[in-house]
């Protein structure tokens, strides 16, 4: 699974520009599902059609997009001003590298400031792409870039720029490969534009009309020095969501996931997240409403170029999904 994770996390794909990721995932799952389709917004949907009489229509969702930046001005010396795509923080930008769709790499710099004690603003940052003038700048207004950082392993700890949420995509791919039988009709959705408003999952849930939905995404942890007080830590199993700032998980879905974890002796944690949400929030509000929940992978340093997860949590999440989908579901 690690070569798959490396391929996904190092790939380019800011919100709205997921084409490359979609092609990578399509190649990885070719021949496995009953069908593969792409909806008008760009969500990739891999479906298993067979459904027993007692089966449910299940939607799973993990988002392909990553946070990034977009050029909004190029000055006379070829330096690019930019605006964030999704939840980018200025402190994690300084000295960072970004790569555009055309392969151009830029370095994020900062103006000289009068007061270095203040958090810099985006207006004070710029991208240096090696240009000497406006005319020879290799990127233009409207071009989007993702951050650049190689995938690293520290034992069971995996580090990359886009664990949010390429690790969820990897889990869906592995679960699809491992699921040998299911009484349910299952749609594995690799969604777009989550980082800018859960847009892809909302569209897919509206079109699919599932009986229930489960998102797979990352969540914060409470295991770093003076971090948030949160009962989630790396290496203790996937987190089953109870609530976040965008949704209250349906208790039936939460209890279902807890039951499957206990039956299979899979370690798990319960997640109460004070800030942030997932595709499950969009699924929950589709059409007349969808019972929805979320399996979360504990992740340190979210929305930085060094997001960190534990490989054991990832493997357990795959097993939990398969265990859930192989058996009948009663709501």
- 253 — alpha (psi -120 to 50), left (phi > 0) or beta? alpha
Is the domain of 229 the same as that of 296? yes
- Inter-CA distances, 146 with 13, 17, 83, 86, Å: 7, 10, 12, 11
330 a catalytic residue: no
Is the domain of 306 the same as that of 274? yes
Is the domain of 252 the same as that of 132? no
Split into its structural domains, the chain has a count of 2
Is the domain of 210 the same as that of 136? no
| Catalytic residue from among 18, 28, 174, 194 | 194
Model pLDDT for residues 27-53, shown as the tens digit of each residue: 999 999 999 999 999 999 999 998 788
Average pLDDT, the chain: 96
Band (75; pLDDT cuts 50, 70, 90): very high
Mention every residue, 6+ apart, whose C-beta is less than 8 A from residue 157.
Answer: 234, 308, 309, 310, 311
Band (60; pLDDT cuts 50, 70, 90): very high
In a domain? residue 156:
no
Instruction: Using the 3D structure, point to which of 114, 147, 180 is the last residue of a domain.
Output: 147
In a domain? residue 154:
no
pTM of the model: 0.96
Note down the domain range covering 133: 68-147
The CATH number of whichever domain residue 33 belongs to comes to: 3.40.630.10
In a domain? residue 12:
yes
Model pLDDT for residues 246-300, shown as the tens digit of each residue: 999 999 999 999 999 999 999 999 999 999 999 999 999 999 999 999 999 999 9
In a domain? residue 152:
no
Is the domain of 51 the same as that of 108? no
Q: Provide the 10 A C-beta neighbour count for residue 321.
A: 26
The CATH number of whichever domain residue 91 belongs to comes to: 2.40.30.40
pLDDT above 90 (res 116): no
Contact 159, 300 (CB under 8 A): no
Instruction: Using the 3D structure, point to which of 147, 179, 209 is the last residue of a domain.
Output: 147
């Amino acid at each position: 699974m690690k070569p798959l994770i490396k391929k996904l996390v190092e790939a380019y794909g800011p919100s709205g520009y997921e084409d490359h990721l979609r092609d990578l995932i399509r190649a990885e799952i070719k021949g496995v599902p009953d069908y593969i389709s792409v909806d008008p917004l760009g969500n990739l949907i891999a479906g298993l059609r067979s459904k027993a009489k007692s089966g449910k229509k299940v939607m799973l969702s993990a988002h392909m997009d990553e946070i990034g930046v977009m050029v909004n001005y190029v000055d006379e010396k070829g330096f690019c001003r930019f605006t964030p795509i999704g939840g980018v923080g200025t402190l994690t930008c300084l000295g960072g590298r970004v790569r555009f769709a055309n392969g151009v790499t830029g370095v994020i710099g900062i103006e000289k400031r009068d007061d270095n004690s203040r958090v810099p603003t985006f207006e004070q940052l710029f991208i240096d792409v090696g240009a000497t003038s406006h005319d020879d700048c290799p990127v233009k207004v409207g071009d989007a870039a993702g951050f650049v950082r190689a995938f690293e392993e520290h034992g069971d700890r995996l580090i990359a720029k886009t664990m949010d949420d390429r690790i969820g995509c990897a889990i869906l791919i592995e679960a699809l490969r491992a699921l040998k039988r299911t009484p349910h009709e299952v749609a594995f959705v690799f969604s777009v534009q989550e980082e800018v408003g859960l847009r892809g999952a909302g569209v897919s849930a509206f079109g699919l009309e599932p009986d229930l939905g489960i998102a797979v995404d990352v969540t914060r942890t409470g295991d770093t020095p003076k971090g948030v007080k949160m009962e989630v830590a790396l290496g203790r199993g996937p987190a089953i969501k109870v609530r976040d700032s965008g949704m209250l998980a349906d208790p039936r879905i939460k209890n279902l996931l807890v039951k499957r974890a206990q039956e299979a002796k899979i370690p798990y944690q319960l997640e109460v997240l004070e800030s942030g949400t997932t595709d499950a929030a969009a699924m929950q509000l589709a059409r007349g409403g969808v019972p929805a929940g979320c399996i979360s992978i504990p992740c340190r340093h979210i929305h930085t170029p060094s997001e960190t997860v534990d490989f054991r949590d990832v493997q357990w999440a795959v097993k939990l999904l398969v265990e859930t989908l192989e058996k009948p579901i009663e709501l």
